[in-house]
Amino acid sequence: MDVEYLFELEFLVRDYECDLLGVVNNAVYQNYLEHGRHEFMHAAGIDFAKLHDEGIDPVVARVEIDYKFPLRSRDRFVLRMGVQREGRLRFVFYQDIFRLPDEKLILNGKVTGVCLQNGRPMVPDKVAGMLEKYKIKQG
């Protein structure tokens, strides 16, 4: 990844997130990635509910996940994230998960998102402000 990490968030695997094999179910990882994106946006001063009330909806357009190693119940891990722009309207969140404390790579995620207003892609002022604050560059 050519993107620097801008944000990180620690988690603990809960028992109910594991499948019959005793590992985190593959779909649960998307919840981790989504929570990380939401926390990053919140830290950047962007409130999803307020955006929606203004008629602006950030949505996911594409998700790519490369699973490297499974997590198990009670594992601690950290999600690290960087962001790049793709074109004028899309944002790509590069999200990597590492087990703690050994920093073993668990997965690489790439999530492409866009903001919609009345069904049309756009970049709201609040998101443009985030781009400047974090010096997010074109990918």
Give how far Cα 103 sits from Cα of 31, 89, 106, 115, Å.
Answer: 20, 33, 9, 33
Q: At which residue do the structure tokens 């939401």 appear?
A: 38
CB atoms under 10 Å from CB of 46, counted, come to: 18
Catalytic residue among 15, 19, 47, 57: 19
**Annotated catalytic residue 19:** yes
Separation CA 2–CA 135 (nearest Å): 14
SS3 state at 123:
coil
Report the DSSP beta bridge partners of residue 138.
Answer: 85
Point out the residues that are catalytic: 19
